[in-house]
Amino acid sequence: MRALKDLVDVAERAAERAANFVRGARAPEAGAWTEKSRHDFVTQVDREAEELIAETLTGLVPGTVVVGEELSPAAEYRGEVVWIVDPLDGTTNYLHGYPQYAVSIGALVDGVLSLGVVHDVARDVAYRAARGQGAWCGGTKLAVSELAEPSRALVGTGFPFKHLDGMEQYLRQFAEVMHATSGIRRAGAAALDLADVAAGRFDAFWELHLAPWDVAAGVMLIREAGGVVTTLEGSENVLGHGSIVAGNPTLHRWLIDLLGAA
Protein backbone atom coordinates (compact mmCIF):
# COMPACT_ATOMS: atom_id res chain seq x y z
CA MET A 1 0.00 0.00 0.00
CA ARG A 2 1.29 3.42 -0.91
CA ALA A 3 1.22 6.09 1.79
CA LEU A 4 -1.87 8.27 1.92
CA LYS A 5 0.27 11.31 1.17
CA ASP A 6 1.42 9.70 -2.07
CA LEU A 7 -2.16 8.89 -3.03
CA VAL A 8 -3.23 12.47 -2.34
CA ASP A 9 -0.40 13.68 -4.59
CA VAL A 10 -1.67 11.37 -7.35
CA ALA A 11 -5.23 12.67 -6.92
CA GLU A 12 -4.00 16.26 -7.06
CA ARG A 13 -2.12 15.57 -10.30
CA ALA A 14 -5.17 13.94 -11.87
CA ALA A 15 -7.50 16.74 -10.74
CA GLU A 16 -5.13 19.44 -11.96
CA ARG A 17 -4.78 17.75 -15.34
CA ALA A 18 -8.56 17.60 -15.73
CA ALA A 19 -9.04 21.15 -14.46
CA ASN A 20 -6.53 22.48 -16.99
CA PHE A 21 -8.34 20.61 -19.75
CA VAL A 22 -11.76 21.94 -18.73
CA ARG A 23 -10.42 25.48 -18.37
CA GLY A 24 -8.95 25.37 -21.86
CA ALA A 25 -11.91 23.70 -23.55
CA ARG A 26 -14.65 25.59 -25.28
CA ALA A 27 -18.02 24.99 -23.65
CA PRO A 28 -20.23 23.24 -26.21
CA GLU A 29 -23.29 24.86 -27.71
CA ALA A 30 -26.67 23.88 -26.31
CA GLY A 31 -27.31 21.49 -29.17
CA ALA A 32 -24.34 19.37 -28.10
CA TRP A 33 -25.56 18.84 -24.54
CA THR A 34 -26.92 15.44 -23.55
CA GLU A 35 -29.59 15.27 -20.86
CA LYS A 36 -28.93 12.11 -18.81
CA SER A 37 -32.07 12.73 -16.80
CA ARG A 38 -34.28 15.73 -16.11
CA HIS A 39 -32.07 18.84 -15.75
CA ASP A 40 -28.91 16.67 -15.58
CA PHE A 41 -26.59 17.52 -18.47
CA VAL A 42 -23.39 15.93 -19.70
CA THR A 43 -21.05 16.89 -22.53
CA GLN A 44 -17.98 15.54 -24.27
CA VAL A 45 -15.92 17.80 -22.00
CA ASP A 46 -17.15 15.85 -18.95
CA ARG A 47 -16.31 12.55 -20.59
CA GLU A 48 -12.87 13.56 -21.80
CA ALA A 49 -12.01 15.03 -18.41
CA GLU A 50 -12.92 11.73 -16.77
CA GLU A 51 -10.81 9.82 -19.29
CA LEU A 52 -7.82 11.99 -18.37
CA ILE A 53 -8.43 11.44 -14.66
CA ALA A 54 -8.79 7.67 -15.03
CA GLU A 55 -5.69 7.48 -17.22
CA THR A 56 -3.65 9.38 -14.62
CA LEU A 57 -4.94 7.47 -11.60
CA THR A 58 -4.54 3.99 -13.06
CA GLY A 59 -1.24 4.89 -14.67
CA LEU A 60 0.31 6.11 -11.42
CA VAL A 61 -1.40 3.55 -9.16
CA PRO A 62 -1.81 0.40 -11.29
CA GLY A 63 -4.55 -2.02 -10.33
CA THR A 64 -6.78 0.55 -8.73
CA VAL A 65 -10.48 0.93 -9.50
CA VAL A 66 -12.11 4.12 -10.79
CA VAL A 67 -15.79 4.77 -10.15
CA GLY A 68 -16.64 7.81 -12.27
CA GLU A 69 -19.91 9.64 -12.79
CA GLU A 70 -19.79 9.60 -16.59
CA LEU A 71 -17.89 6.51 -17.72
CA SER A 72 -18.11 3.97 -14.91
CA PRO A 73 -20.90 4.84 -12.44
CA ALA A 74 -21.86 1.19 -11.97
CA ALA A 75 -18.33 -0.04 -11.20
CA GLU A 76 -18.00 -2.12 -8.06
CA TYR A 77 -16.40 -0.59 -4.98
CA ARG A 78 -13.92 -3.44 -4.66
CA GLY A 79 -10.19 -3.13 -4.41
CA GLU A 80 -7.40 -1.88 -2.20
CA VAL A 81 -7.83 1.63 -3.63
CA VAL A 82 -11.12 2.75 -5.18
CA TRP A 83 -11.23 6.25 -6.66
CA ILE A 84 -14.60 8.05 -6.67
CA VAL A 85 -14.54 10.69 -9.39
CA ASP A 86 -16.68 13.57 -10.59
CA PRO A 87 -14.82 15.07 -13.55
CA LEU A 88 -16.96 18.20 -13.67
CA ASP A 89 -19.17 18.91 -10.68
CA GLY A 90 -21.45 21.78 -11.68
CA THR A 91 -21.82 21.03 -15.37
CA THR A 92 -24.83 23.32 -15.76
CA ASN A 93 -22.82 26.19 -14.26
CA TYR A 94 -19.98 25.45 -16.66
CA LEU A 95 -22.29 25.42 -19.66
CA HIS A 96 -23.69 28.82 -18.74
CA GLY A 97 -20.33 30.41 -17.94
CA TYR A 98 -21.16 30.65 -14.22
CA PRO A 99 -17.76 30.21 -12.51
CA GLN A 100 -18.68 27.60 -9.91
CA TYR A 101 -17.59 24.11 -10.98
CA ALA A 102 -14.92 21.68 -9.86
CA VAL A 103 -13.10 18.40 -10.32
CA SER A 104 -13.69 16.10 -7.35
CA ILE A 105 -11.67 12.96 -6.52
CA GLY A 106 -12.11 10.92 -3.34
CA ALA A 107 -10.74 7.50 -2.53
CA LEU A 108 -11.58 4.47 -0.44
CA VAL A 109 -8.49 2.71 0.90
CA ASP A 110 -9.25 -0.80 2.13
CA GLY A 111 -12.92 0.15 2.14
CA VAL A 112 -12.50 3.30 4.24
CA LEU A 113 -12.97 6.81 2.85
CA SER A 114 -9.45 8.12 3.30
CA LEU A 115 -8.66 11.09 1.05
CA GLY A 116 -10.16 13.76 -1.09
CA VAL A 117 -9.15 16.47 -3.55
CA VAL A 118 -11.42 19.21 -4.89
CA HIS A 119 -10.04 21.48 -7.61
CA ASP A 120 -11.96 24.72 -8.15
CA VAL A 121 -11.56 25.04 -11.91
CA ALA A 122 -12.50 28.68 -12.47
CA ARG A 123 -10.34 29.98 -9.61
CA ASP A 124 -7.56 27.37 -10.07
CA VAL A 125 -7.56 26.57 -6.35
CA ALA A 126 -7.05 23.05 -4.97
CA TYR A 127 -8.25 21.62 -1.65
CA ARG A 128 -6.94 18.33 -0.27
CA ALA A 129 -7.36 16.10 2.77
CA ALA A 130 -6.19 12.72 4.01
CA ARG A 131 -7.33 10.71 7.00
CA GLY A 132 -5.49 11.88 10.11
CA GLN A 133 -3.50 14.51 8.21
CA GLY A 134 -5.88 17.48 8.17
CA ALA A 135 -7.45 19.42 5.33
CA TRP A 136 -5.48 22.01 3.38
CA CYS A 137 -5.70 24.64 0.68
CA GLY A 138 -2.14 25.27 -0.43
CA GLY A 139 -0.18 25.90 2.76
CA THR A 140 -3.25 26.93 4.76
CA LYS A 141 -4.80 24.39 7.10
CA LEU A 142 -8.58 24.41 6.93
CA ALA A 143 -10.91 24.54 9.92
CA VAL A 144 -14.68 24.63 10.11
CA SER A 145 -16.29 27.70 11.62
CA GLU A 146 -16.65 28.09 15.38
CA LEU A 147 -19.98 29.92 15.13
CA ALA A 148 -22.55 28.36 17.44
CA GLU A 149 -25.53 30.72 17.11
CA PRO A 150 -27.93 29.64 14.33
CA SER A 151 -29.29 33.17 13.88
CA ARG A 152 -25.85 34.25 12.64
CA ALA A 153 -25.18 31.19 10.50
CA LEU A 154 -24.75 31.12 6.73
CA VAL A 155 -25.99 27.79 5.38
CA GLY A 156 -25.37 26.23 2.00
CA THR A 157 -27.84 24.00 0.22
CA GLY A 158 -28.70 22.25 -3.02
CA PHE A 159 -32.13 22.17 -4.62
CA PRO A 160 -33.73 18.80 -5.51
CA PHE A 161 -33.68 19.74 -9.20
CA LYS A 162 -33.63 16.13 -10.45
CA HIS A 163 -35.97 14.70 -7.80
CA LEU A 164 -38.96 17.01 -7.90
CA ASP A 165 -41.07 14.57 -5.90
CA GLY A 166 -39.06 15.70 -2.87
CA MET A 167 -39.70 19.40 -3.44
CA GLU A 168 -42.45 19.81 -0.84
CA GLN A 169 -40.27 18.31 1.89
CA TYR A 170 -37.35 20.46 0.81
CA LEU A 171 -39.40 23.66 0.77
CA ARG A 172 -40.58 23.00 4.33
CA GLN A 173 -36.95 22.56 5.36
CA PHE A 174 -35.87 25.65 3.42
CA ALA A 175 -38.49 27.79 5.16
CA GLU A 176 -37.41 26.62 8.61
CA VAL A 177 -33.71 27.23 7.91
CA MET A 178 -34.44 30.62 6.35
CA HIS A 179 -36.40 31.75 9.41
CA ALA A 180 -33.69 30.56 11.79
CA THR A 181 -30.45 31.75 10.14
CA SER A 182 -28.83 34.81 8.59
CA GLY A 183 -29.04 33.37 5.09
CA ILE A 184 -28.98 30.47 2.64
CA ARG A 185 -26.83 30.11 -0.47
CA ARG A 186 -27.16 27.72 -3.42
CA ALA A 187 -24.35 27.88 -5.98
CA GLY A 188 -24.87 24.54 -7.72
CA ALA A 189 -21.65 22.57 -7.16
CA ALA A 190 -21.76 20.33 -4.10
CA ALA A 191 -18.02 19.66 -4.04
CA LEU A 192 -17.33 23.40 -3.67
CA ASP A 193 -20.17 23.80 -1.15
CA LEU A 194 -18.51 21.19 1.03
CA ALA A 195 -15.12 22.85 0.58
CA ASP A 196 -16.76 26.07 1.79
CA VAL A 197 -17.91 24.27 4.95
CA ALA A 198 -14.39 22.92 5.52
CA ALA A 199 -12.95 26.43 5.06
CA GLY A 200 -15.46 27.99 7.48
CA ARG A 201 -17.22 30.06 4.83
CA PHE A 202 -20.43 28.10 5.32
CA ASP A 203 -21.37 27.14 8.86
CA ALA A 204 -23.50 24.22 7.64
CA PHE A 205 -24.88 22.60 4.50
CA TRP A 206 -27.66 20.20 3.52
CA GLU A 207 -29.01 18.54 0.40
CA LEU A 208 -31.50 15.70 -0.01
CA HIS A 209 -30.15 13.85 -3.05
CA LEU A 210 -26.45 13.52 -3.83
CA ALA A 211 -24.35 10.76 -5.40
CA PRO A 212 -21.08 9.34 -3.99
CA TRP A 213 -18.97 11.22 -6.56
CA ASP A 214 -20.64 14.48 -5.54
CA VAL A 215 -19.56 14.18 -1.92
CA ALA A 216 -16.67 11.76 -1.37
CA ALA A 217 -13.86 14.32 -1.56
CA GLY A 218 -15.78 17.09 0.20
CA VAL A 219 -16.71 14.82 3.09
CA MET A 220 -13.02 14.17 3.71
CA LEU A 221 -12.28 17.89 3.66
CA ILE A 222 -14.92 18.63 6.29
CA ARG A 223 -14.09 15.74 8.60
CA GLU A 224 -10.39 16.55 8.52
CA ALA A 225 -11.22 20.23 9.15
CA GLY A 226 -13.02 19.31 12.37
CA GLY A 227 -16.58 19.13 11.07
CA VAL A 228 -19.30 16.49 11.01
CA VAL A 229 -21.01 14.96 7.98
CA THR A 230 -23.91 12.51 8.11
CA THR A 231 -27.10 11.64 6.30
CA LEU A 232 -30.33 13.32 7.38
CA GLU A 233 -30.96 10.26 9.55
CA GLY A 234 -27.60 10.69 11.29
CA SER A 235 -25.66 7.88 9.61
CA GLU A 236 -21.96 8.47 8.90
CA ASN A 237 -22.26 6.34 5.75
CA VAL A 238 -22.83 9.12 3.22
CA LEU A 239 -21.65 7.33 0.08
CA GLY A 240 -25.07 6.12 -0.95
CA HIS A 241 -27.34 8.06 -3.27
CA GLY A 242 -29.09 10.15 -0.66
CA SER A 243 -29.07 13.02 1.79
CA ILE A 244 -26.19 14.84 3.42
CA VAL A 245 -25.99 17.25 6.36
CA ALA A 246 -22.67 18.90 7.22
CA GLY A 247 -21.31 21.58 9.47
CA ASN A 248 -19.31 22.38 12.54
CA PRO A 249 -20.28 20.03 15.38
CA THR A 250 -22.72 22.44 17.05
CA LEU A 251 -24.56 23.58 13.95
CA HIS A 252 -24.59 20.11 12.41
CA ARG A 253 -26.55 18.82 15.42
CA TRP A 254 -28.84 21.84 15.33
CA LEU A 255 -29.49 21.47 11.60
CA ILE A 256 -30.22 17.73 11.87
CA ASP A 257 -32.84 18.45 14.52
CA LEU A 258 -34.38 21.34 12.60
CA LEU A 259 -34.61 19.43 9.33
CA GLY A 260 -36.06 16.40 11.05
CA ALA A 261 -38.79 18.49 12.68
CA ALA A 262 -39.62 20.12 9.35
Q: Are 135 and 229 within 8 A, CB to CB?
A: no
pLDDT computed for residue 30 by the predictor: 74
pLDDT computed for residue 73 by the predictor: 80
Integer Cα distance of 135 and 190 in angstroms: 17
pLDDT computed for residue 29 by the predictor: 79
Integer Cα distance of 205 and 193 in angstroms: 7
pLDDT computed for residue 169 by the predictor: 93
pLDDT computed for residue 252 by the predictor: 98
Strand-pairing partners, residue 106, are 84, 116
pLDDT computed for residue 9 by the predictor: 97
pTM score, whole prediction: 0.94
Who wins on pLDDT, 25 or 30?
25
Domains along the sequence of the chain with CATH: 4-141 (3.30.540.10), 150-261 (3.40.190.80)
pLDDT tens-digit series, residues 153-171: 999 999 987 767 778 999 9
Residue 35 scores a pLDDT above 70: no
Residue 39 scores a pLDDT above 60: no
pLDDT tens-digit series, residues 97-134: 999 999 999 999 999 999 999 999 999 999 999 999 99
Residue 1 scores a pLDDT above 90: no
